[in-house]
A and B are shown apart, each in its own frame.
Chain A
Amino acid sequence: MKSFRRLVYPYLVWAGLLIVLPMLIIVFYAFSTQGNVVIPVKLSFVNFLRFFSDPIFLEVLGRSLKLALFTTIICILLGYPAAYFIAKMKPDSQSVMVLMVTLPQLINMLVRTYAWRGILLEMPFSPEVKVYIGMVYNFLPYMILQIYTSLSKMDPSLVPAAYDLGCDEKMAFLKVTLPLSVPGIISGITLVFLPAVSSFFIPKLLGGGSYVLVGNLIENYFVTTGDWNFGSAISLIMALVILISMYFTRKFDYDQEAV
């Protein structure tokens, strides 16, 4: 069956050209500026200096991280009990509930957000609250499903065993159930925090123009102003920030396992 190995080679070319090369082009754009007629491109750090020397850009980055962080925390706080209660139901009801959590997710994301725009139109909330509602609505199902999956994989005899060994309900939950569901929480964080940092149409549709995030900045520099070099630099900074946060989340996961 070694002959099947050859099936991979065309994909290596495809992936190199269509997945890796675009990333390299972003890096190239980020580290260069439009030059003059003689030298069309100049390599420089100007884009990064511009980003880090302007407090407005840093404020936008901070706001995006804050939104992503709080969205993730709210999703864990709302999603954990939901996942826990679903996992305690009869098997048949469990699959019905999972289907019910999945169904709204299948409806186009833009369409769902548009619906919230109508609902929230005349509500007396600040743009920030409206954006949070839209974000939590979009990401909560991911969190519930991830935590539910890890809870339903748990050996059902563990909790009664903890009772036998003298734990009360609270202790059994804190010492047995919760630690075993940490992997679900971690993958939930990956699925919520990551896309939340870069989201740009939820803030735009629900927050109006007043709530600018990193994603909106990138969109502006690519679509409106056409400054692709600076736009690429912002994307690169955002990708790095996400990478670093994911590194710490995973590290936390490993440390937990080590304990």
Chain B
Amino acid sequence: MKRKNNKLFHKIYLAAIMAFFYLPIVYVVFFSFNASRSLTNFTGFSLQWYEKMFSTRAMMESIYYSVLIAVIATAVSTVVGTIVAIGLSKSSHLIKQIVTQVNNLPMLNPDIVTAIGLMLLFSTLNIPTGFGTLLLAHIIFCIPYVMLSVSPKLRQLDENLAEAALDLGCTPFQALYKVIIPQIKEGIVSGALVAFTMSFDDFVISYFTTGPGINNISTYVYATTKRINPSVNALSTLIVLAITIVLIFSNVLPLIRARRKRNEKTA
């Protein structure tokens, strides 16, 4: 009896935590269909905030820049981070130590310190801030995260395999993409996911390194919060929808594929 009560308590507790986590999401989706400007009174169903969102150029641009920067920063930082991590795994202890410590700086420093550091650097070098500096900043802070998720996979790698590939006539480049890369694929994929999330989610570094007229979703929302702007709810709903779809696909597709494979085997 006591055990049963315990289980019930666990369920209630977790349900309460989940309610806390999902309350704002339910709230934005609900109020994005509100007929009035109010953020507390639901007066009726309407799609006006979606209409307003699609017709507000700055808002659409902010979505465009968020996605574009996240995609480019993820691609560049994944390729560069993987290559550097591979090089690092063959380097001397000293070089490993130096790179690890330097990479720790943007990961352990508060974002705001990294951000003003880059802002001061761009200003010292007389580089005008804008799309280029924003993208560069995102690539800079994404690379260490990619390396962090690729490096452990490299440590598990059997060194003799790459040597064997070379002995069998592979060029170093062939050994890289035929032997090493396939074995660390998992680390590369999770590194890319972390990079994308970090870039898409970032506000602080973007805020200090972007220039006039270039906003991503975060800096746009921050700039508009002085007034009540219900179309931000519509924008939020769009993001929630996109993320849910991606998560469903990434979690359900492997299941379907696994089932198909099983069926093929039995057939």
A125 to B108: give the CA distance in the assembly, Å.
Answer: 33
Q: Are A112 and B124 in contact (CB under 8 A)?
A: no
From A8, A22, A104, A235, B112 is in contact (CB under 8 Å) with: A235
Per-position 1/0 for B169-198, Cβ under 8 A of A: 000100110000000000000000000010
Q: Known contacts A20-B105, A22-B117; is A118 also within 8 Å of B31 by CB?
A: yes
Q: Are B106 and A195 in contact (CB under 8 A)?
A: no
Q: Known contacts A1-B175, A82-B14, A110-B221; is A104 also within 8 Å of B114 by CB?
A: no
| B129 CB within 8 Å of chain A | no
CB distance from A241 to the nearest CB of B (A): 10
CB distance from A185 to the nearest CB of B (A): 17
Per-position 1/0 for A209-249, Cβ under 8 A of B: 00000010011001000001001100100110010001000
Q: Known contacts A5-B87, A25-B120; is A114 also within 8 Å of B159 by CB?
A: no
A89 contact set on B, CB distance < 8 A: 10
Q: Across the two chains, which residue of chain B brings its CB closest to A96?
A: B251
The stretch from A11-19, A42-50, A150-158, A173-181 touching chain B is: A11-19
Q: Are A1 and B83 in contact (CB under 8 A)?
A: no
With an 8 Å Cβ cutoff, the count of chain A residues facing the other chain is: 72
Per-position 1/0 for B90-124, Cβ under 8 A of A: 11100100110011011011111110111111001
Q: Are A107 and B240 in contact (CB under 8 A)?
A: yes
From B103, B143, B163, B235, A1 is in contact (CB under 8 Å) with: B163
Q: Known contacts A8-B84, A121-B39; is A109 also within 8 Å of B110 by CB?
A: no
From A1, A11, A19, A195, B162 is in contact (CB under 8 Å) with: A1
Q: Are A122 and B40 in contact (CB under 8 A)?
A: yes
Q: Are A194 and B110 in contact (CB under 8 A)?
A: yes
| A73 CB within 8 Å of chain B | no
| A171 CB within 8 Å of chain B | no
Q: Known contacts A1-B166, A118-B31; is A222 also within 8 Å of B119 by CB?
A: yes
Report which B residues bind A (CB closer than 8 A).
10, 13-14, 17-18, 20-25, 27-28, 31, 39-40, 66, 80, 83-84, 86-92, 95, 98-99, 102-103, 105-106, 108-114, 116-121, 124, 136, 140, 143, 159, 162-163, 166, 172, 175-176, 197, 200-201, 203-204, 208, 217-218, 221-222, 225, 232-233, 235-236, 239-240, 243-244, 247, 251
Provide 17 A-B residue pairs closer than 8 Å at the C-beta atoms, listed in order of the A residue: A5-B90, A18-B136, A20-B102, A23-B105, A85-B13, A103-B243, A103-B244, A107-B25, A108-B236, A111-B221, A115-B25, A117-B225, A215-B110, A215-B112, A222-B116, A235-B113, A246-B108
Q: Across the two chains, which residue of chain A brings its CB closest to B39?
A: A118
Q: Are A218 and B112 in contact (CB under 8 A)?
A: yes
> Other CB < 8 Å A-B pairs besides A5-B91, A104-B24, 10 of them?
A7-B86, A26-B113, A81-B13, A82-B13, A108-B218, A111-B218, A118-B233, A121-B39, A121-B40, A239-B113
B39 contact set on A, CB distance < 8 A: 117-118, 121
Q: Are A109 and B218 in contact (CB under 8 A)?
A: yes
A228 to B23: give the CA distance in the assembly, Å.
Answer: 40
| A100 CB within 8 Å of chain B | yes
A131 to B107: give the CA distance in the assembly, Å.
Answer: 25
B217 contact set on A, CB distance < 8 A: 108, 110-111
CB distance from B228 to the nearest CB of A (A): 8
Q: Are B172 and A3 in contact (CB under 8 A)?
A: yes
CB distance from B117 to the nearest CB of A (A): 3
B21 contact set on A, CB distance < 8 A: 100-101, 104, 137, 140-141
CB distance from B168 to the nearest CB of A (A): 14
Q: Across the two chains, which residue of chain A brings its CB closest to B84?
A: A11
CB distance from B64 to the nearest CB of A (A): 15
Q: Known contacts A85-B14, A99-B251; is A6 also within 8 Å of B87 by CB?
A: yes
